[in-house]
Structure 1
Amino acid sequence: MHHEDDYTRRLKRLDCCAVSDALDKLGLAGTVTGLPQRSGTQRIAGRAVTVKLIEAKAHAAAQAAQAANVTGGSVSTAPRHLGTTAIEFAGPGDVIVVEQHTGLDAGSWGGILSLGASLRGIEGVIADGPVRDIDEARQYGFPVFARALTAFTARNRVAEAGTNVPVSVGTVSVSPGDYVIADNSAVIFIAVQHIERVLTAAEHIAGKEAAMAKKLLNGVPIAQVMGADYEYMLANHG
């Protein structure tokens, strides 16, 4: 479990557009679109706790192979519901990130999980795949960003391959502990080794945008504000 650190607090004061512009300026990937906010209204930010899902039949085959390789011929395969390990591990300052790329129309997250995560103080969930029970998440005010919505259960369709393992969201690779920010514009992932310079660049851009807005309010023509000022702001200086 992570606790909210200074980087997370700084990230929460920004929005995804400023952070995306900072990534562009630095030549870094990390911005993912097409994952709209399905519940909750607030922007979220924190550290990634990852969950990788695979087809249930592939998971069952892997377990059977594992059992066959154990002396004595069996291992414990007590069922554990997907997402529960991540919830027990995570807390305030954490965002659960789920990969469900099987192509199956099956929930990668659900209502009881949303309640459990909300009670733990987890910031929210980002699911690259379908989620179910979205009305329950809305009732709890728990932020869920997801590729699609469904009513189909994960049972006998998808299963958890691992928690806190590398995953991918869109075309972005995500490692456990990476920084995450998500709002109605995008979901963005920032590797730990890049967080300081991304935040510095994004804070500079946000400051410039605030100054541009002030100029508009003071009567400066918008063509002037959105011309040289805006292009200079996004240029790769410094």
Structure 2
Amino acid sequence: MKKVVLQVALDLLELKRAVQIAHEALAGGADWIEAGTPLIKSEGMQAIRTLREQFPDTVIVADMKIADTGTMEVEMAAKAGASIICILADADDAVIAEAVRSSRLYGTKLMADLINVKDPVSRARTLERMGVDIIAAHVGIDQQMIGKSSLSLLKDIREEIYIPVAVAGGLDAATAGEAVCYGADIVIVGGCIARSADVTGSTTLIRQSLDAPSLQSTEKMSLDEEIHSLFMQVSTPNISDAMHRKGALPGLVSFCGNVKLAGKAVTVHTIAGDWAKPVEAIEIAEPGSVIVINNDGCVHVAPWGELATLSCTKKGIAGVVIDGAVRDIDDIRSMKFPLFARAIVPNAGEPKGFGEINAEIQCCGHSIHPGDWIVGDESGVVVIPRERAYEVARRALEVKKTEARIREEIRRGSTLSVVSELSKWEKK
């Protein structure tokens, strides 16, 4: 069996960091190094020149995503030192033809990226006839966040063309091995390597997966199970960053310390500590859900206490969020139950039955609907609209990966401002 090529995509903005990651990836078994589109947009052709200078014997891929001026863009990437140049598969045929001619003139190869192509099988056949050297089955980052799979695209085109096929889009050690089983000649890995705190170790794991590929037989999770699993791996700051600094519910405190919750909201609106509807919500709530209570802005009387919390633990409720006060906090702390509220008071209200369950409510200035996802930890609580939960969970995990690499670079002696090149990116 021929060796499958491992291509590492450097989708960063900072050239110095990209070079260091490339060194570590090659040490772990990477074959080709890609100057990713963000790096080329940030640093221009200097990114390719620098990679060629640093790695004179390595195949350098320039992810130009050419859409026009095929001759000019291939020429400048080739002269900068690129071995393989990427063009958008949905570029006009005239652009493709010019890029092919230019690549032949300068002794490079052309890789066509199928991202966003409506009929990828038909287009791949056409590109092969036009002289493209490699077809890339690529699902972009934003598409990955909503669940699209590069492996599905790979399977669709592999048996239809004879030239080498690359696959890219959210691959890790497990799915990289699957890609080989489905016929990939080149496996392109970005974030799983470039955002790792241990780039060499992560590359080695993927290299091992490519050299001894297998199909995974893990049991398929339901969508809600997968969302829950993802949210439990990330922090509320990760989620807030993934939502462009939105979703945080200000003023809430984790009164049981280092506990975490993630679940779908059962909403409750009550008035002045009336605890009837909050307690009745326990009977309605499914195991794993989160009860979210709007106490109508009242913090001097509590709609929740120890007995309601004990009921939740027996029912399997994931946690409780109160825009208002809680009482019996010493007993609740002993249960280590995820409870978030704005205040602690000893006063309880009366169970009069005012309010509603599972209607849209306001909580800490945010509208929350039944079924929205609620995640809480010691940093606070965030709400994620149910229709965006999977996407936001995936994006939050990418934020976490990015921070892992930055953290490692700071541990090695850098600083946050240096790693981020803050002065370069300040708004002008």
Q: TM-score scaled to structure 2, two decimals?
A: 0.44
Per-residue deviation at 1:195?
A: 1.5
Counterpart position of 2:293: 98
The question of 1:83 aligning with 2:278 is answered yes
The question of 1:204 aligning with 2:421 is answered no
CA RMSD, Structure 1 to Structure 2 (Å) = 2.6
State whether residues 110 and 134 of structure 1, in contact with CA within 8 Å, keep that contact through their aligned partners in structure 2: yes
Alpha carbons of structure 1 residues 132 and 173: separation in structure 2 relative to 1, 3 Å? same
State whether residues 4 and 92 of structure 1, in contact with CA within 8 Å, keep that contact through their aligned partners in structure 2: no
State whether residues 178 and 192 of structure 1, in contact with CA within 8 Å, keep that contact through their aligned partners in structure 2: yes
Counterpart position of 2:381: 187
CA distance in 1, matches of 2:224, 2:388: 18
State whether residues 375 and 383 of structure 2, in contact with CA within 8 Å, keep that contact through their aligned partners in structure 1: yes
Residues 10-32 of structure 1: CA deviation (Å, up to 9, x unaligned): 1111101111111116xxx4211
Per-residue deviation at 1:92?
A: 3.0
The question of 1:119 aligning with 2:314 is answered yes
CA distance in 1, matches of 2:360, 2:345: 25
Per-residue deviation at 1:197?
A: 2.5
Per-residue deviation at 1:100?
A: 0.5
Per-residue deviation at 1:143?
A: 1.5
Counterpart position of 2:237: 17
Residues 104-160 of structure 1: CA deviation (Å, up to 9, x unaligned): 62112111000000111111110000111111111211111001111111117x744
Q: Which has the larger radius of gyration?
A: 2
CA distance in 2, matches of 1:187, 1:35: 7
State whether residues 40 and 144 of structure 1, in contact with CA within 8 Å, keep that contact through their aligned partners in structure 2: no
State whether residues 100 and 129 of structure 1, in contact with CA within 8 Å, keep that contact through their aligned partners in structure 2: yes
Per-residue deviation at 1:55?
A: 4.6
CA distance in 2, matches of 1:161, 1:222: 48
1:133 to 319, 328, 331: 328
Counterpart position of 1:146: 341
Gaps of 5+ in 2: 1-222
Partner of 2:276, secondary structure, is coil
CA distance in 2, matches of 1:184, 1:200: 21
Alpha carbons of structure 1 residues 101 and 227: separation in structure 2 relative to 1, 3 Å? farther
Runs of 4+ in 1 over 4 A off after TM superposition: none
Per-residue deviation at 1:34?
A: 1.2
CA distance in 2, matches of 1:210, 1:24: 19
Partner of 1:54, secondary structure, is coil
Gaps of 5+ in 1: 60-79
CA distance in 2, matches of 1:179, 1:102: 22
Alpha carbons of structure 1 residues 221 and 188: separation in structure 2 relative to 1, 3 Å? closer
> Which letter maps to 2:320?
V
State whether residues 137 and 143 of structure 1, in contact with CA within 8 Å, keep that contact through their aligned partners in structure 2: no
Whose helix fraction is larger, Structure 1's or Structure 2's?
2
* Structure having greater relative contact order (Cα 8 Å, sep ≥ 6): 1
Counterpart position of 2:265: 48
CA distance in 1, matches of 2:226, 2:284: 21
CA distance in 1, matches of 2:327, 2:316: 20
> Which letter maps to 1:108?
P
CA distance in 1, matches of 2:272, 2:259: 32
Counterpart position of 2:359: 165
> Which letter maps to 1:84?
V
How many residues get paired? 204
> Which letter maps to 2:250?
T
State whether residues 40 and 142 of structure 1, in contact with CA within 8 Å, keep that contact through their aligned partners in structure 2: no
